[in-house]
Amino acid sequence: MTAVSDRPPDAASFKGRLVRVRELLARPLFSYHLLLGVSALLMALGLMMVLSASSIHALQTRQSAFALFGRQFISMALGLLLMWICSRLPLRFFRLAGYPLMVFAALGLVLVMFIGTSEQGAQRWIYIGELTIQPSEPAKLALVLWGADLLAKGARAGQIEWRRLLIPLMPGLAIMAVLVMLGSDLGTTLVLMMIFLALLWVVGAPLKLFGGILSVMVLATVTMITIEGYRSARIKGWLDPWGNAQDAGYQLVQGQIGMGSGGWFGLGLGASRQKWNWTPHAESDFIFSILGEELGLMGTLVVVALFGLLGYAGLRVATRVRDPFVRLASVAAIAWIVGQAIVNIGAVIGVLPITGIPLPLISYGGSALLPTLAALGMLLAFAKHEPGAREALAARGPGPVARGLSWLGLGGPARRRRPVRARR
């Protein structure tokens, strides 16, 4: 018989594991693979939850149970193509793309005021047949690219004077925010503000400037809530949801019932009771509640952990690449995606007021999904500029797409991988 030792694990083995973890984190393409893997998991989970949350509503409206799932699948396929294209673009493209994208986003926001459709007290959408466009979503990506390039130019030229940096950036943000607010979209306005604050934080703005901007943001938010009756009702329902369970607090109460009934491991995929016309917008704004009901607390913690890893990967890219534009754009994009996820999850669990913004990569809606995947593709392109990443990609050889094209005679000959010499 083998004697069982009561001694603690060997310290050397623990140190060896730490060394292996550090080696893994030090790999040139670790950020790239982490971004890709986390994004894929969130998208797969989103497709699964959209199918589950939307099937009952689709059947009740005399559609196929797969109607909304099919539209989301098509949007995701287009988004993946856009993500792949963005991951292969040079940095110069992203620096130049912010300017025309800002113009197109502004034109779309102006156009939505004239031909847009008003729903739930907000005029955000343009319907063209079966196609739905929400111009405020591309505005987030536009502000990330345009603002990052403006601040990067000032930093490269040594012009770190806040007046010169804020004069082009502040008016552009103000115009975009006003256009978004004319459509009664307070949630997107707050996301634009988060992007702006993230840009200033990376540049190293003084605390006084942050305090002043936050004061203006709070004052503007309180004013917008006061002048719109439905927003005041939302705040009332948020402060006392169970006291307004049949009125302003109805959606929040139903969402909390769904979250609470899921327990530790959930009722099972597809077994939600709240999606039977109890929780409004179960497939979009409150899909996190359905996720918690069907997958339980463990499922919600997995989603939170995945967004945490996504934020870590984006910040890792920002700290490992020396280009100031990459640093600014990476942090701004992560502030947008992860910040929006925090706002959505906080609204569902009752920590924050309901703003009507979707959960990135999981909620239903192609208008929000496409710019998000474009931003993730941009982060993948940035990750290729980390130290040693280009060498690692070159040593890996052509990818499966390039090899497939070469086999079909549609591309150049696939290069063979160079043999790697064994270390002595």
| Separation in Å, CA 120 to CA 123, 231, 342, 355, 356 | 8, 11, 22, 11, 9
Cα Rg of the chain (Å, integer): 24
CB atoms closer than 10 angstroms to residue 261: 16
Share of the chain above pLDDT 70, in %: 79
Instruction: Region of 365 please: left (phi>0), alpha (psi -120 to 50) or beta.
Output: left
CA distance 354 to 377: 29
Mean of pLDDT over the chain: 82
- Copy the structure tokens of residue 331: 């942090």
The residue ranking higher by pLDDT, 239 or 95, is: 95
pLDDT tens for each residue of 214-258: 888 788 777 777 766 666 777 777 777 787 778 778 888 888 898
Structure tokens at 97: 């793309």
Instruction: In whole angstroms, give the CA distance from residue 423 to residue 108.
Output: 58
Domain boundaries, the chain: 43-387
Q: Which two tokens stand for residue 41?
A: 């998991």
Q: What percent of the chain lies above the pLDDT cut of 90?
A: 37
Structure-derived torsion over alpha carbons of residues 51, 56, 57, 61, reported in degrees to the nearest 10: 120
Neighbouring CB atoms inside 10 A of 78's CB total: 14
The model's pTM is 0.86
Q: Which of 210-224, 229-243, 314-328, 347-361 has the lowest mean pLDDT?
A: 229-243
Judged against a pLDDT cut of 70, whether residue 415 lies above it is answered with no
